[in-house]
Structure 1
C-alpha cells in the first residue's frame, strides 16, 4: 500500500486537515498521528499495526491506495468515459436581448432578438433525432442569454415543455436550469415552473447600494436589488424541488458591507440555496492570497449556515462541459456554439442547426477542441489539485494553441492560499452537515 498522489494536509487549530482530491474526502488527524503516518509512509503496514482504525479510514477515504494503482491513468480513463458518455448537455439561447445593462457584461446584446418558430421546430426535431437514434440516456437543458426569460411565454416555456415531454415519452431523465437575472420572475411564471422542477443561477452584486449601481434596468436605469431578493424568496416558497445558486459578483469594494446582504438573505431556506463568489474578471489583479475581505465574507456566510463555493474546484472529469462530445449551445438564430462564454458571433460558431434537426458541425474545430484532454499539460500532470480542476478549459487552450498555458492555471485566480482553500472547504462542508469528517486521533 502507498499514499495517494492527491493528498493535501494542512494544519488547523492544532490538528491536521487532510483532503484527498481524487475522492474529495476529508479526514481530521491529530499532529501525532499525522507525524506517525509520515514516518511510516514507506512502510504503511507498520503504521497499520499500531493504528488499525485510522488505517482503514484512510483507505476508505482514498488517502492510502494499492501499490499497483495508477491514479493518473484512472483520471485519463474517467475523462474519456465522461467526454463520450450518453448524457447530453444542451444550452439554448432564446434571445441576445436583455432587460438590464450591467457595465461588465461581455455579451453583444441584440435588441428585440427572438428565436423564431422555425428554429424552435428545428430544436424539437434535433432532440427527437437524438432520441430516435438512441444516442442519449439523459438531457440537461440550460437556458442562457441575453436574458432567457425575456420571451418566456413566446419561446422559453413552449420549448422547454415540449422537450420535457419528448424525454418523458422516451423514459429518459430530464433536468432544466436557468441562468437569469431574476427580475422578470413572477407568480404566474412560477406556477408554470412547478411542472419543470428547475434550478436557477441568479446574480447579486453585493449589498443593496452597491448592487443598484451595477445591475440596473435598461429601460429606466432603476436598481433591481429589492425585486431580485423578493424573487429569491418567492422561488423558494413556491417551488418544492428547486435550487438557487446565488452568484455574488464582487470587486474590491463589493464585500465591504456584505453584512447587509446576509441580513437580507437570512430567512431563505438553506436547503434550497447556495452561494457562489465570483470576482468580476475585469477587476482581477492576478493572484491575491491575502484577500482578507474575501476570507471574512466566507466565514460570515458559513457562520450563517449558507453553503458557499469559491474557486473552480469540484470533483469532475472534465474542465468544462464544452469539452464533452454531446454538448451544444444553440443560439436564437440557429447557429451552434460549443463555448457559451464567448460572444455569439459568426466567427465563433462551431456549426449550424439544419432544417432536419441535425447539427452540422465544423469537424476541424470539434476535433481541435475535444481531441486532446485539457489536463495533458506538464503543470497539470504534477498538480495535487488535478482531480478537482482537470486543467484550463478547452476554449482557453484553443485560443492559445495549447502554448504558454501557465497563466491560465486556475490556482492563479484563487485569492487565498491553497492551504486556506482546503480549510475553507472543510469548514463549509462540515458546518453545513454535508460531510462527516472522520476524526482519526486514536484507535
Structure 2
C-alpha cells in the first residue's frame, strides 16, 4: 500500500452528517453518521478500505483525504509559500499621499497613537521619484503587473495633486510595456462625486475598501464632518454611485463593529441599492477596544446569516484556503511608500524610523535597508513547532511576517490567529458546504 491519510483532515459535525474537510485541498465530503462510523475505522486500515469501498476510496484520494505515501504535505506547503513570497514579478505598492484626514474618528486619531494625523502631503519631488520607480519596475525589473494601493490618512484629499499624476503616468508606462495595471483605494468615500468616480474608472480603479461604523445613527456619532454633520448618507450614496459607474468593481464594505452595531446590521443592508449588492463583500472588523465574547460571536453569526439572506457576500477573513500566505503584505514585492518617500513594510504599524525598510531615491531606485529586511524575512511565520503540527496550517499559514518579526524582536510568543478568531472553523466549513450545495 503506497497511500496514507492526509494530516490535514478535519471532522466537522453538522446536524445530520459529518463534514470531512481537508485544509490543504479545500475539499469537503458530507458523510452520514452511520457511514462515518465505519469509514473512520477503515481510515486506519487503508487496504481494507480500498477493497470494500473502491469508489469511495478513489473519491477520498481525488479530494486529498488520502494521499501518496511519498507526498510530503508540509514540504509542499513550504514550497508554495516561497513561490508566493518570492517567485513572481507582480508588484503591489501602497502609497500614502498624506497621513491627514478630513474626518477625525476617535478610534483612529485619539486612542491609536500610531495613526495620529500628520498634515503634510506628498511633494512634487516624491511624486516624480515614484513615477521614476514605476518606470524602473516596468522597463528594468520586467514587472508582470503593478497594483497601486492608495492609503492614508484619506488619500482622496489629494486626488488631483497626487493620485491623478501618478495614475496617469503609470497607466501610460504600463500600456507601453505590456504590464497589467490596476488600482486599489482605502477611503472613507466622503470626497467622491460622479466626476471623480468616472476619472477613477478611467484610471483602472477596480477595488475599493470603504468603512461604515454601524447604521446611520451609530455611524454619524463616530464619523462626521467638522461642522458635525453626519457622513453616513454621503458614503452610502457614493457606494451606490461607484457600483453604477465602474463595471465589475469590487467593494469591501468594512463594518467596524461593537455589540450595538451588530444588533442593527439590517439597517445598513436596507440602505444599499439592489444593483450594488453584486459588487459588495461585507467584512466585519471588531473595534480593537471591544473584547470578543460568546455573545459577540453569536451576534456576528446572526449578522452573517442576515447578510446572506439579503443577497450580499461576506468573507471569513481568518480562513484563506490555498493562498499559502497569511497576508498580501508578506510578498517581497509589496511595500509602502509614505508621503515623504520613506519605505515601510506594513500599514498596520506606525511609521517610525525604526521601521524604515528603504528610501526612495530620485532615480526611482529604492535604497533598501537590507539589515532590517533580512531580519523580517529571517524565517517564515509558520516555521515553528506549533504551526507545523497544526492541521489548520494550510488555511492559516501562521501570523504575517510583521507579527512574526515583532514576536522575535520583543521576545514574545508567536500569536495564534485562531485563539481570538470571531468565527469558528466549524461555522466556516458548514457555510462553505452550503455555498457548494453539499448540504441544505
Match status 1:151 vs 2:153: no
Match status 1:178 vs 2:185: yes
1:230-261 superposed Cα distances (whole Å, 9 cap, x missing partner): 11111111111211011111112211111211
Match status 1:14 vs 2:16: yes
- Secondary structure at the counterpart of residue 401 of structure 1: helix
Alignment correspondent of 2:405: 398
Greater displacement, 48-57 / 154-163: 48-57
1:325-375 superposed Cα distances (whole Å, 9 cap, x missing partner): 212110111111011111223332221101111111111110111121010
Alignment correspondent of 1:104: 107
Corresponding residue to 1:47 among 46, 49, 63:
49
Corresponding residue to 2:212 among 204, 209, 230:
204
Distance, in Å, in 2 between the alignment partners of 1:172 and 1:55 is 46
CA contact (8 A) 2:259 2:296 kept: no
CA contact (8 A) 1:36 1:47 kept: no
- Secondary structure at the counterpart of residue 101 of structure 2: coil
Distance, in Å, in 2 between the alignment partners of 1:167 and 1:261 is 39
Corresponding residue to 1:305 among 303, 311, 314:
311
**Shift in Å, 1:102:** 1.2
CA contact (8 A) 1:94 1:145 kept: yes
CA contact (8 A) 1:289 1:415 kept: no
CA contact (8 A) 1:57 1:438 kept: no
Distance, in Å, in 2 between the alignment partners of 1:120 and 1:275 is 33
Alignment correspondent of 2:62: 60
Distance, in Å, in 2 between the alignment partners of 1:172 and 1:102 is 38
Residues 339-350 of structure 1 aligned to structure 2 (within 5 Å)? 339-350=346-357
Distance, in Å, in 2 between the alignment partners of 1:135 and 1:60 is 38
TM-aligned CA distance change 1:199 to 1:131, over 3 Å = same
1:68-105 superposed Cα distances (whole Å, 9 cap, x missing partner): 11111001111111111222121111111111111111
- Secondary structure at the counterpart of residue 18 of structure 2: strand
1:30-87 superposed Cα distances (whole Å, 9 cap, x missing partner): 2233233211112334334444443333333322221211111001111111111222
Please, what is the CA RMSD of the aligned residues? 2.1
Residues 26-425 of structure 1 aligned to structure 2 (within 5 Å)? 26-85=28-87, 86-105=89-108, 106=112, 107-111=115-119, 113-195=120-202, 196-217=204-225, 219-265=226-272, 267-285=274-292, 288=294, 291-315=297-321, 316-401=323-408, 403-405=411-413, 408-425=415-432
Alignment length (residue pairs): 429
Distance, in Å, in 1 between the alignment partners of 2:60 and 2:168 is 47
User: How does the TM-score come out when normalised to structure 2?
Assistant: 0.92
CA contact (8 A) 2:214 2:261 kept: yes
Distance, in Å, in 2 between the alignment partners of 1:11 and 1:266 is 37
Greater displacement, 42-51 / 252-261: 42-51
CA contact (8 A) 2:129 2:360 kept: yes
CA contact (8 A) 1:149 1:184 kept: yes
4+ residue runs over 6 A deviation? none
Distance, in Å, in 2 between the alignment partners of 1:352 and 1:391 is 29
CA contact (8 A) 2:139 2:177 kept: no
Name which structure has the greater RCO, CA cutoff 8 Å, separation 6+: 1
TM-aligned CA distance change 1:270 to 1:61, over 3 Å = farther
Q: Which runs of 5+ in 2 are unaligned?
A: none
**Shift in Å, 1:215:** 1.8
Distance, in Å, in 1 between the alignment partners of 2:15 and 2:129 is 59
**Shift in Å, 1:437:** 4.2
Greater displacement, 195-204 / 18-27: 18-27
TM-aligned CA distance change 1:212 to 1:332, over 3 Å = same
**Shift in Å, 1:135:** 4.2
TM-aligned CA distance change 1:51 to 1:246, over 3 Å = farther
Distance, in Å, in 2 between the alignment partners of 1:264 and 1:52 is 53
CA contact (8 A) 2:91 2:145 kept: yes
**Shift in Å, 1:422:** 2.5
Q: Which runs of 5+ in 1 are unaligned?
A: none
CA contact (8 A) 1:278 1:310 kept: no
Distance, in Å, in 2 between the alignment partners of 1:174 and 1:52 is 49
**Shift in Å, 1:227:** 0.9
**Shift in Å, 1:290:** 6.8
CA contact (8 A) 1:37 1:44 kept: no
**Shift in Å, 1:155:** 0.9
Distance, in Å, in 1 between the alignment partners of 2:433 and 2:254 is 21
